[in-house]
Amino acid sequence: MGMVGIRMTRITGTLAIAIFVFCFTLSGCSEIANTQVDIKVIGVGTNFTGFYIKDDSTPQGIDGTIDAYGNYIFEKEIKDLDNIEVHVERLTTARTLQIKIYRDGDKVKESSLESSETSTNKLVLEYQVGEEDTSS
């Protein structure tokens, strides 16, 4: 094999490695592109209002729907996201308000405003894909 053949083999090998790295990088990104989370907001004995923001896009409204036990629930499946913010406000002060985020059926983050907390009625929760709540 001559000098040209050796150079072509090196170029081909380098190109193959570059293509492999590129494809591997794309497959890592596709996890986020296919990510789905479920938002659940629960007002125990109180309704709430608010919004969520997916990846810094336009805010989408949140309103609770009453269940058979007098609690208010909002559930939403969100696909293809990197991060999400959920902002809610309870309409009755002395009641519990919760935000829970699930990924692949597992709860990954939550926050609550207990009935004894009367200094505020607002609750905010932010979640970045891949982040897990380690406080529980």
Q: Which residue has the tokens 């007098």?
A: 70
Do 75 and 65 reside in the same domain of the chain? Answer: yes
Do 22 and 11 reside in the same domain of the chain? Answer: yes
Do 71 and 104 reside in the same domain of the chain? Answer: yes
User: Do strands 65-66 and 96-103 pair parallel, antiparallel, or not at all (unpaired)?
Assistant: unpaired
**Could you list the pLDDT tens digit for every one of the 136 residues in the chain?**
565 555 555 555 554 454 544 444 444 444 455 688 999 999 999 999 999 999 999 999 999 999 999 999 999 999 999 999 999 999 988 899 999 999 989 999 999 999 998 899 999 999 999 887 555 4
For residue 71, give the CATH number of its domain.
Answer: 2.60.40
This prediction's pTM:
0.73
Domain presence at residue 106: yes
Integer Cα distance of 32 and 52 in angstroms = 19
Token couple for 51: 């919004």
Integer Cα distance of 98 and 44 in angstroms = 8
Number of domains in the chain: 2
Do 21 and 79 reside in the same domain of the chain? Answer: no
Domain presence at residue 135: no
Residue 115 DSSP symbol:
T
* Numbers of helices and strands, H then E, in the chain: 1, 9
Do 60 and 120 reside in the same domain of the chain? Answer: yes
Integer Cα distance of 95 and 128 in angstroms = 28
Domain of 104 in residue numbering reads as 36-128
Quick one: three-class SS letters along 71-83?
CEEEEEEEECCCE
Domain presence at residue 134: no
